[in-house]
Amino acid sequence: LTTAAVIPAAGRGVRLGPGAPKALRTLGGVPMLVHAVRALLRARAVTLVVVVAPPDGAVEVRLLLDSHGLPEGKEILVVPGGATRQDSVRLGLEALPDDVGTVLVHDAARPLVPVDMVDAVAAAVCEGAPAVVPALPLADTVKQVEPRDHGPEPVVGTPERALLRAVQTPQGFRRDVLVSAHLRVPAEGEGATDDAGMVERLGTPVVVVPGHEEAFKVTRPLDLVLAEAVLARRRA
């Protein structure tokens, strides 16, 4: 059985400010999505990457990937995505060929993930874990609040920081585990923001492996500044 990666890249990236879909914004002159695809294809185990493009942008994304000359001997499929991340991942899973046994799901918005971290997640699944997430301890203390549209939000509680982890991607899964989570967990509101959360809801154990600072998600304008600096340091 083989290992494939699904890269949801259909988000508009509203929090990053106006402009192109987030995955197509450039870092060091190269679209974030191209960085993310390269990072996953560098992993030894990964033989196929399924890129989930904006719903009306699959042809454009295909042309973009072809124009960046990605490695020989590895396959890239491009499929149109959906309205939420959860829909986009499900559409990516539906495109997987039969021989795929392990699936890594990786946000296009984490373009600088180190290959060693990708390898470690894939290895943990191959060694028997049904679901694996890379994660880091938190720097900030976290409060749970009662959300309000206007005015100060009341604090409801403070979870003990030492027990919390911030999770990253790629998250790794046995294919059957992730597919059944996407079939059985309903999409509510904005849908699931992470795949392991859906697997947890089915009662399947999920384990954490060490994440990496450079696997951060590019979400807000300041993240672009940080990503450019990391890239410049790597190229120096």
The single residue among 27, 37, 65, 85 that binds ligand C5P, judged by CB under 6 A, is 85
Q: Does 23 bind ligand C5P (CB under 6 A)?
A: yes
Q: Which residues contact 140 (CB under 8 A, 6 or more apart)?
A: none
The single residue among 4, 37, 49, 84 that binds ligand C5P, judged by CB under 6 A, is 84
Angstrom distance (rounded) from CA 127 to CA 122? 9
CB of 127 to ligand C5P, least distance (A): 27
Residues 110-169 close enough to bind ligand C5P by CB under 6 A: none
Q: Does 81 bind ligand C5P (CB under 6 A)?
A: yes
Angstrom distance (rounded) from CA 155 to CA 37? 40
CB of 130 to ligand C5P, least distance (A): 22
Which residue, 123 or 181, is less far from ligand C5P as judged by CB?
A: 181
Q: Does 9 bind ligand C5P (CB under 6 A)?
A: yes
Angstrom distance (rounded) from CA 11 to CA 13? 6
Instruction: Name the residue among 191, 46, 186 with its Cα closest to residue 122.
Output: 46
Q: Which structure tokens are listed for 203?
A: 């009662």
Q: Does 56 bind ligand C5P (CB under 6 A)?
A: no
Classify residue 26 by burial, with Cβ atoms within 10 Å: 0-12, 13-18, 19+: middle
Which residue, 22 or 182, is less far from ligand C5P as judged by CB?
A: 22
Task: Judge contact between 108 and 36, C-beta under 8 A.
Answer: yes
Angstrom distance (rounded) from CA 233 to CA 156? 42
Q: Does 192 bind ligand C5P (CB under 6 A)?
A: no
Q: Of 103-111, 127-135, 138-146, 158-166, which part binds ligand C5P (CB under 6 A)?
A: 103-111
